[in-house]
Amino acid sequence: MFVGYSEKAKNFCTAARILSHSRFWHSRQQSHNPLHPAVAAAFNMHDPEDWQQLLLEWPYVSKTDVTRLAYTRDERGGEDDRQVLTSLGKYLKRHWPDMADHIIRDYVAKYATASAFRIERTTEAIVHAVQEGPSSCMKWTDEGDLDEIGHHPYEAYAPCYGWHVATRRLGHQIVGRALLMQRDNDEAQPKYFVRTYRSNPGDTYSQPDDELIQWLKSQGYEHRGSWKNERLAYIASGKRHADSEFIAPYLDGGAQCVDIDTAHISEGKYKRFLKICSDGEWSCSNTCGHATEQDSCSCSDCGSRVSEDDQRSVGYHGDHVVGACCIDDYTMVTGRRGNEYHVPNDQAVYVDEEYYDRDYLGDNNIVELEDGEYCSMDDAVHIESAGAWYHRDDDAVVCDHNSEWQMRDDCVQLYDSEWALEDEAWECAGSGNYYLHDDDTPVEVDGENYHEDYLPETDDEEDKTPTETTKEST
């Protein structure tokens, strides 16, 4: 686990053995998942902020994505065998907040051996990375889109202007990508990226790829907020795509407009190109391969032309524009990360006089109840035995004597009106009251259980149980 086996490493191992004896789930984690080698290496050289918390979390290489780190957040997560996935760099920064970024990058670069990184400088590689890599709005799965336009919008990222691409691969699979820029491919020019994409099975939206970010920084690339002042190739759209004069990709970052410009090639010859800017004549914020003139656009739903004043961006990314003609089909909701935006009416969930995005209820502490209704998590309880959420006021659930919520059908009401699980209590044959096994011991008479306050009367002293006789004598 540790190289050199220092004194603090010995103490860590001793504590790990003690923890494995006191917590079954931690013993399971230790036996099945070796401590992440990068964490062990960092522990040998630097003191974490809280080594006891690090020990409890027991970080290891994820089984589902070997490029990431898995750890147990808390006791509840351990008992449920539920782990959290994160990037190696982010985890190291959390436990070693004072560790320099370049040292963290070195650990990531050294121990993230499962990933293969590659930089390519051809148009084919740039298009291949978006088509075969992580999900994004510019990943076109419908071949009809390409047939209609004739070009993939990413062809506008022409390598002659300095565009190139970085990919992170597992085998032949592209699991991370980033568009890169180094103007005119001149080593004297700064090189940078605006956004990275990481594969996440089941998600239609790609999160940043922290591992790729760390690697790019180790290669001298910096992160910037936009592609402002860079050039794109001018690819005429032709008659088949008459809504726009040219083909354009969705631009990441803060500058999403372009102006058409020309460059002098030779005597009497000029070449058109697009120059990225913050406030240009054309907006490149569409995913369909065309740009929109700033003063008007087409409604994405019905196709009607919409003036700038009547445009309404809908969806979390705001990349779907409709006009007043269709905005009534959408509802303003609170959704992903607490942001407000419009979604189709049937995707809006009404809770406590507010609307929420059905796809991001968890971001807003909203849960779906067992009966299909929705409510705030503060007003709901989760019943483990039923595997479902219930409203606190639902007659089907009760709060027991331990202040834990249970299904009413699994419980009985005690003599003092408290509730308890049925197998925790017994019934007095004399009164019909229920008592806790831990609080009151039943007296058995003729094969039935009685509370001492409700013992049956007997005519003969010899018929009384030893317990009753002793009580009377006393």
Cβ atoms of residues 179 and 194 within 8 Å = yes
- The region, left, alpha or beta by phi > 0 then psi within -120 to 50, assigned to residue 253 is left
Amino acid at 218: S
Contact residues for 2 (Cβ-Cβ < 8 A; gap 6+): 9, 12, 13, 40, 43, 44
Tens digit of pLDDT for each residue in 261-310? 998 777 778 899 999 998 888 999 988 888 887 766 678 888 776 767 77
- Determine the Cα–Cα distance for residues 156 and 282; give it in Å rounded to an integer: 15
Torsion sign (Cα): 305, 309, 315, 317: positive
Percent of the chain with pLDDT over 70: 89
> Cα Rg for the chain, rounded, in angstroms?
33
Distances (CA, A) of 388 to 237, 368, 373, 381: 53, 9, 12, 9
Higher pLDDT, 403 or 147: 403
Distances (CA, A) of 310 to 299, 439, 471: 10, 71, 89
Amino acid at 155: E
Please state the domain extents for the chain. Answer: 7-111, 115-294, 395-474
- Determine the Cα–Cα distance for residues 115 and 169; give it in Å rounded to an integer: 6
HSE-CB for 406 with a 13 A CA cutoff: 19
Q: How many H helices and E strands in the chain?
A: 11, 33
Mean pLDDT computed over every residue of the chain: 87
Q: Which residues of 303-337 are buried (b: 16+ CB within 10 A; e: fewer)?
A: eeebeeebbbebbbeebbbbbeebbeebbebbbbe
- Determine the Cα–Cα distance for residues 315 and 353; give it in Å rounded to an integer: 21
Averaged over 189-193, what is the pLDDT?
Answer: 95
Q: Is the pLDDT of residue 127 over 60?
A: yes
Higher pLDDT, 65 or 127: 127
- Determine the Cα–Cα distance for residues 141 and 76; give it in Å rounded to an integer: 41
What confidence score (pLDDT) does residue 470 get? 42
What confidence score (pLDDT) does residue 5 get? 56
- Determine the Cα–Cα distance for residues 104 and 211; give it in Å rounded to an integer: 11
What confidence score (pLDDT) does residue 472 get? 45
Higher pLDDT, 130 or 218: 130
What confidence score (pLDDT) does residue 150 get? 76
Distances (CA, A) of 195 to 109, 208, 215, 263, 450: 19, 7, 14, 28, 73
Distances (CA, A) of 86 to 30, 208, 293, 389: 19, 11, 41, 28
The secondary structure of the chain in percent helix, strand, coil, rounded to multiples of 5, reads 30, 30, 40
The pair of structure tokens assigned to 447 is 């094969």
What confidence score (pLDDT) does residue 26 get? 95
- Determine the Cα–Cα distance for residues 387 and 385; give it in Å rounded to an integer: 6
Tens digit of pLDDT for each residue in 321-364? 998 889 999 999 999 989 999 999 999 999 989 999 999 999 99
Cβ atoms of residues 59 and 111 within 8 Å = no
Quickly state the pLDDT bin for 201 (edges 50, 70, 90): low
Averaged over 354-378, what is the pLDDT?
Answer: 94
Cβ atoms of residues 127 and 177 within 8 Å = no
What confidence score (pLDDT) does residue 142 get? 65
Q: What is the pTM of this model?
A: 0.46
Quickly state the pLDDT bin for 203 (edges 50, 70, 90): low
**Other residues' Cβ atoms within 10 Å of the Cβ of residue 181:** 20
- Give φ, ψ of 218 to 5 degrees: -70, -20
Quickly state the pLDDT bin for 121 (edges 50, 70, 90): very high
Tens digit of pLDDT for each residue in 417-467? 999 999 999 999 999 999 999 999 999 999 999 999 999 987 654 454 554
* SS3 assignment, position 94: helix
Quickly state the pLDDT bin for 112 (edges 50, 70, 90): low
Averaged over 74-90, what is the pLDDT?
Answer: 92
